[in-house]
Amino acid sequence: MSQNPYLNYLATLTRAAERMQLDESEIVRLRYPERQVQVSLPIRMDDGSLRVFEGYRVQHNSLRGPYKGGIRFHQNADINEVKALAAWMTMKCAVANIPYGGGKGGVTVDPSTLSQTELERLTRAYANAVYDVVGPFTDIPAPDVNTNGGIMAWFCDEYSKRNGHLTPEVVTGKPVPFGGSLGREEATGRGVVIAAKETLKSFGEELAGKRVAVQGNGNVGSVATMLFEKEGCKIVAVSDVSGALFCAQGIPGEKMRQYALSRTLLKNYPLSEGMTFIPGAEGNAALLTVDTDILVPAALENQITAENVAKVQAKYIVEGANGPTTAEADVALEERGIMLIPDILANSGGVIVSYFEWVQNLGRYMWSEEEVNAKLAVQMGNAVASVCANAKKYNSSLRMGAYITALERLTVAQKLRG
């Protein structure tokens, strides 16, 4: 990875603290993760050979509650990426005003090269390796890139065996029949659309009728695509790792969701009239600079950079992914007057419903999907209102508004705890 995303986090933290005129002593704890765990995971492969994978769990900050954050399986996962993702979780949980700190996990692996049995052995080995540092009141993982409910179920099963009893509240994003919450799978994408709609409203704009381009057709991107269409938007471009689809007349959002659920890559999509497909990285580069009103990066970090930021045509950027914009590009977007709804607000729907799942598990409740979605809309609406209010008060970008909101809450927690 060319950019160290933890340096991006530190640069943004410093800018927000300066804007608030905070003393360094009020934020210095947020510069250092409280704990970083690195493990090696020896796995017997199906062909009998032995391979060792590297795994991480970073616990960034626990001022406001137990560490919370997903587990990523990706060939580029490394300690700096996991540190940044953990720090962003601290900020995100504070913006969402849920009683958690921030953590994140990762294993350096391309899971598409593993069989299901190898994937299960790897997940169980990871759960065993981090057993001592996770737990329902210390650190609660969840899915992230290339991990899903099935993987969370294996993690939960392995933890529960060691713990002596079924402990569903150790992990969220589980399948619904195994302690998961209704509405969790769609929550991040749903939250992206709520964040876009409510923020635009706060600035006197309407979501309906806008053209939208979405990078990434996974859990977050495909749900967002489907729901943007339901809000009356036109989807003009969608991409995944195989390339990008473009169609000025509109791409069917529901179909994109089906593709994501069936794990079919977009390169297999049958092109209709007016549709074009550009394969691979070239397609994704074209998507980021396509003529659209709203751009939703929902794949990986470091996509909008100093190199391509001048060519971005969107008027609004809604960060479905974590850290898709580098710190330099962020400043350039602000100077160009492009409104960016930052990751720690835009994609907080996932952790909000993870919190609801944890509460249901601890209380042995089962809420209806309507109840979960209604609670999500209220919690996200409050977060958007706080962030927009701070952006207006400080005459700053929404990213600064979000960091300021988080820092207000984190510095209060630090003062109270002493």
Ligand X SMILES: NC(=O)c1ccc[n+]([C@@H]2O[C@H](COP(=O)([O-])OP(=O)(O)OC[C@H]3O[C@@H](n4cnc5c(N)ncnc54)[C@H](O)[C@@H]3O)[C@@H](O)[C@H]2O)c1
174 is catalytic: no
Nearer to ligand X, 7 or 208 (CB): 7
Q: Tell which one of 144, 198, 229, 293 touches ligand X (CB under 6 A).
A: 144
Per CB under 6 A, the list member of 103, 141, 216, 401 interacting with ligand X is: 216
Q: Estimate the crossing angle of helix 116-129 against helix 149-163, to 10 degrees.
A: 50
Minimum distance from CB of 393 to ligand X (Å)?
Answer: 27
Q: Does 325 bind ligand X (CB under 6 A)?
A: no
Residues 6+ apart with CB under 8 A from 105: 55, 56, 57, 58, 69, 70, 71, 72, 82, 126, 130, 141
- Distance between CA 299 and CA 220 in Å, rounded? 8
- Of the residues 299, 333, 402, 406, which one makes contact with ligand X according to CB under 6 A: 299
- Give yes or no for residue 69 binding ligand X (CB under 6 A): no
Integer CA distances (angstroms), 110 to 113, 132, 394, in order: 6, 26, 43
Nearer Cβ to ligand X (17/134) = 134
What's the closest the beta carbon of residue 218 comes to ligand X, in angstroms?
Answer: 2
- Nearest residue (CB) to ligand X, 33 versus 350: 350
Contacts of 176 (CB under 8 A, 6+ apart): 182, 184
Cα 171 to Cα 140: distance, rounded to the nearest angstrom: 5
Told to check if 215 binds ligand X by CB under 6 A, we report yes
Q: Which of 218, 253, 342, 401 binds ligand X (CB under 6 A)?
A: 218
Cβ of residue 161: shortest distance to ligand X, in angstroms?
26
Number of residues that bind ligand X (CB under 6 A): 24
Instruction: Work out which of 141, 149, 320, 342 binds ligand X, going by CB under 6 A.
Output: 320
| Of 12, 217, 373, 379, the one binding ligand X by CB under 6 A | 217
Q: Per rule CB under 6 A, is residue 8 in the interface with ligand X? A: no
Closest separation between CB of residue 151 and ligand X, Å? 11
Per CB under 6 A, contacts with ligand X among 161-200 are 188
Catalytic residue among 68, 83, 104, 210: 104
Looking up tokens 């400080």 gives: 394
The residue nearest ligand X at its CB is 218
* Residue 405 Cα to chain centre, angstroms: 18
Which one, 208 or 261, has the nearer CB to ligand X?
261
Q: Which stretch binds ligand X (CB under 6 A): 4-12, 210-218, 270-278, 406-414?
A: 210-218
**Could you say whether residue 379 binds ligand X (CB under 6 A)?**
no
Angle at alpha carbon of residue 393, lines to 387 and 396, rounded to 5°: 70
Under the binding rule (CB under 6 A), the answer on residue 146 touching ligand X is yes
Return the residue of 219, 326, 360, 396 that touches ligand X, per CB under 6 A. Answer: 219
Distance CA 266, CA 308 (A): 24
Between 127 and 288, CB nearer to ligand X: 288
* Interface pick for ligand X out of 350, 361, 380, 384 (rule CB under 6 A): 350
From 59-67, 111-119, 141-149, 328-336, span contacting ligand X (CB under 6 A): 141-149
Region 252-271 residues binding ligand X, contact defined as CB under 6 A: none
Order the strands of the 234-240 sheet from edge to edge. Answer: 275-279, 243-247, 234-240, 211-215, 294-297, 316-318, 339-341
Which amino acid makes up residue 214?
Answer: V
For the CB of residue 158, give the shortest distance to ligand X in the complex, in Å. Answer: 21
Binding mask 222-251 for ligand X (x = CB under 6 A): -----------------xxx----------
**Bridge partners of 247?**
275
Distances (CA, A) of 162 to 4, 125, 158: 36, 12, 7
What is the distance between the alpha carbons of residues 362 and 144, in angstroms, rounded to a whole number?
Answer: 22
Least Å distance, CB 236 to ligand X, is 17
- Contacts with ligand X by CB under 6 A lie at 143-146, 188, 215-221, 239-241, 284, 298-300, 320-322, 347, 350
Point out the residues that are catalytic. 104
